[in-house]
Amino acid sequence: MESVKSQSYEVHINELAKAALNQHIAKTSYSKIFLLVDENTKAHCLPIFNEMIDFPIDSVLEIESGEENKHIRTCLQLWEDLSNLDGDRKSLLINLGGGVLTDMGGFVASTFKRGIDFINIPTTLLSMVDASIGGKTGVDLGSLKNQVGVINQPQMVLIFPEFLKTLDPRQTKSGYAEMLKHGLIQDSSYWNDLIEDGDFTDAACIQRSIAIKNEVVLQDPTEQGLRKILNFGHTLGHAIESYCLDNHDKKTLLHGEAIAAGMILEGYLSHEMRGLSKLSVDEIKKGFLKHFDKVDFTEDDIDAILQLLKYDKKNSHGNVNFVLLQEIGKAVTDIRIPEELFQKAFAYYKE
Amino acid sequence: MESVKSQSYEVHINELAKAALNQHIAKTSYSKIFLLVDENTKAHCLPIFNEMIDFPIDSVLEIESGEENKHIRTCLQLWEDLSNLDGDRKSLLINLGGGVLTDMGGFVASTFKRGIDFINIPTTLLSMVDASIGGKTGVDLGSLKNQVGVINQPQMVLIFPEFLKTLDPRQTKSGYAEMLKHGLIQDSSYWNDLIEDGDFTDAACIQRSIAIKNEVVLQDPTEQGLRKILNFGHTLGHAIESYCLDNHDKKTLLHGEAIAAGMILEGYLSHEMRGLSKLSVDEIKKGFLKHFDKVDFTEDDIDAILQLLKYDKKNSHGNVNFVLLQEIGKAVTDIRIPEELFQKAFAYYKE
């Protein structure tokens, strides 16, 4: 499998990834090598990882899995651990886990002693195709996602699709939503292939998604323009995800499940605002609902979600800006939506 | 007074600073302008600042002064305040205060929503000539200084020497120690002028120090090599400062007071290791002790300080690396010191 070249780091898959990691460690004189895991990756991925490497790990740091732990308190513990274990500026942190872990580990590494090297080894499909690519790191602030963070690139990103076998299929499907998004915003034939066929966990599919995300990120690393298209489905999706996380009587949604709903809603807004054909909106809705359960939104839920919208970090000057589709495979950014359309979008979703 | 050009921002003094600030705000469409103060700058500097500006401040955020508040908990409060006050990616944070405030405000701005603009208006001599120049931001971790942070440049740094009149002279003298350091590492005639004359608070002196620091930082923004010379006196100085902060029966030392002791000690090490003449070491000791009280170190104090050394963030691979002087005005980096010399250095200090 070909490696994908990014600006300052490389994304390697399978055997190439293993070789790249061992070579990098052999040629770089790190003072200490730390490995960050959670209880799941410790149990299921660490044994596989240990077979791959030909260098010793100095210390394994463990955090609890789950978005609710993606908080500055967890970072504080990690900074203290690194400090107590004599981590210094020439130390390396290897992040072995899903998006929560790689986002947080990336942030901790980027800020420990004003920045040490880190390597991401995403173990969920979501983090392989999305979170670990592009240099966004950070943690949540209460229920507000990714409010605190930096943009900083890892030394390398290593993809081992075999880790996906260790996962709950619901987790894996969550990443599938991001892959479908890549098709919707950039490549209609990829959308068609993915929605029809569906072995989205094979290395070729994963690589196609990484290539799309990477191409976008390379052109606009700090999200001044083009990169915003990656937020399709995320403006409403984030608000839905935050709302469900905060309300214990609602079922917690995985990120992909929330943005699947977000993409249907924003697909509808695309129809109203940018002339995306009704046929395409229906195709998007049908495509997602084939793979993702419909979320049951009450009127109160919808009102609360719309309140949360104004806190979304992509909002500027108090306005909520959306990424919409002109057609499948072509996105436009910075669209403001009249308030009344949100209710119509939810009505369409519930139909 | 001429402005000093840095890589990505400018340092302006007095009238030029006032004009630069008002022009920058007029031409940049910020969604919200936040001002960060502490109880001292709120009382003494804010009224002067309000007279200077021709734009409104949306919200004033207040933190408690003091190194003991330079902690991630204070950052958490500020991130929450910014979020609750509808701060977004197009917001600006103006930091009005000393080094603790500009370091922490810079870190909060650099990490809020993955980075918003900030402007530093240092109000202490120490922050004018040192902390606010060079893009280092961060907070402490317990008693370990600046363990968490990023390197990120402000939009501009504005110097108003009149703020110094609002300060306790002990505070101002703390900055004088950094100015003397600039002479010692880079410019012997500046050292001579400063140690002899002494109106170190006038704009010309401040500018000379800023120019030296800026020249060093421009050549090596991420501290790979040359920039390390700015740490002269700081390896032992930081350990002394941390130790006194942590031990309530010791008098708390201001940063400049701690590094003044550090520079005498490291001056002695320079004599032992790099042939700095005994005459020069004596000149350094005499110069500092003319302006700074001698610190009373017991044997136990010295042992504890040497223990703390190994945590200094500049240490790599467990070794303690020092910046030493070959002669006054010429520094060398990455020198390892045999343990027994530390005791000799303290003995020389106590003589």
State the average pLDDT over residues A266-277: 97
Residue at token pair 């939503």: A177
Contact B114 A151 (CB under 8 A): yes
Domain that residue B280 falls in: 170-350
pLDDT computed for residue A206 by the predictor: 94
* Residues B30 and B118 both lie in one domain: yes
**Residue B108 or B220, more confident:** B108
B149 vs A: CB within 8 A: yes
- B140 pLDDT more than 80: yes
* Residues B135 and B198 both lie in one domain: no
pLDDT computed for residue B21 by the predictor: 98
- On average, the pLDDT of chain A sits at 92
Considering CB atoms only, which of A112, A115, A148 is closest to B111?
A148
* Residues A128 and A233 both lie in one domain: no
| Token pair of B100 as six digits | 């603790």
Instruction: Label residue B133 by pLDDT band (50, 70, 90).
Output: confident
Angle separating helix axes A299-309 and A340-350, nearest 10 degrees: 130
* Residues A87 and A180 both lie in one domain: no
* Residues B30 and B107 both lie in one domain: yes
* Interval A334-350: pLDDT, tens: 999 998 999 999 999 99
Instruction: Label residue A7 by pLDDT band (50, 70, 90).
Output: low
**Residue A67 or B22, more confident:** B22
State the average pLDDT over residues A294-309: 93
State the average pLDDT over residues B132-151: 90
* Residues B160 and B304 both lie in one domain: no
Contact B110 A151 (CB under 8 A): no
pLDDT computed for residue B313 by the predictor: 47
* Residues B216 and B231 both lie in one domain: yes
CB neighbour list of residue A232: distance below 8 Å, 6 or more residues apart? A181, A184, A185, A263, A266, A323, A324, A325, A331
**Nearest Cα residue in chain A from B318:** A86
State the average pLDDT over residues B150-157: 94
pLDDT computed for residue A20 by the predictor: 96
* Residues B152 and B216 both lie in one domain: no
pLDDT computed for residue B309 by the predictor: 85
- A288 pLDDT more than 50: yes
Residue A116 sits at the vertex; the CA angle it makes with B100 and B76, to the nearest 5 degrees, is 40
Question: End of a domain among A140, A167, A194?
Answer: A167
* Residues A285 and A238 both lie in one domain: yes
B168 vs A: CB within 8 A: no
Q: How much of chain A exceeds pLDDT 70, in percent?
A: 95
Cα distance from B308 to chain A (closest Cα, Å)? 12
* Residues A158 and A203 both lie in one domain: no
CATH assignment at residue A305: 1.20.1090.10
State the average pLDDT over residues B242-251: 87
Q: Which residues of B touch A315 (CB under 8 A)?
A: 88
State the average pLDDT over residues B313-341: 84
- B317 pLDDT more than 80: no
Contact A79 B315 (CB under 8 A): no
Best mean pLDDT range from A162-166, B119-123, B133-137, B219-223: B119-123
CB neighbour list of residue A84: distance below 8 Å, 6 or more residues apart? none
Q: Do B137 and B106 touch, CB atoms closer than 8 A? A: yes
pLDDT computed for residue B166 by the predictor: 87
* Interval A117-150: pLDDT, tens: 999 999 999 999 988 888 899 999 987 888 999 9
Contact A111 B113 (CB under 8 A): no
Q: Tell me the ipTM for this assembly.
A: 0.84
State the average pLDDT over residues A70-93: 96
**Nearest Cα residue in chain B from A74:** B72
- A220 pLDDT more than 90: no
Q: Which residues of B touch A89 (CB under 8 A)?
A: 313-314, 316
* Structural domain total, chain A: 2
Q: How much of chain B exceeds pLDDT 90, in percent?
A: 77
Instruction: Label residue A61 by pLDDT band (50, 70, 90).
Output: very high
Least trusted range by pLDDT, from A133-137, B229-233, B307-311 = B307-311
Cα dist from B247 to B236, B242, B301, whole Å: 17, 9, 10
Question: End of a domain among B106, B137, B166?
Answer: B166
Q: Which residues of B touch A311 (CB under 8 A)?
A: 83
**With a CB-CB cutoff of 8 Å, which residues 182-241 of chain A face chain B?**
none
State the average pLDDT over residues A75-82: 97
CATH assignment at residue A91: 3.40.50.1970
Residue at token pair 């945590």: B311
* Residues B156 and B199 both lie in one domain: no
The total of other beta-carbon atoms located within 10 Å of residue B89's CB is: 17
In angstroms, rounded to a whole number, what is the distance separating the alpha carbons of residues A234 and A230? 8
B146 vs A: CB within 8 A: yes
A30 vs B: CB within 8 A: no
Cα distance from B32 to chain A (closest Cα, Å)? 8
| Token pair of B331 as six digits | 């520094």
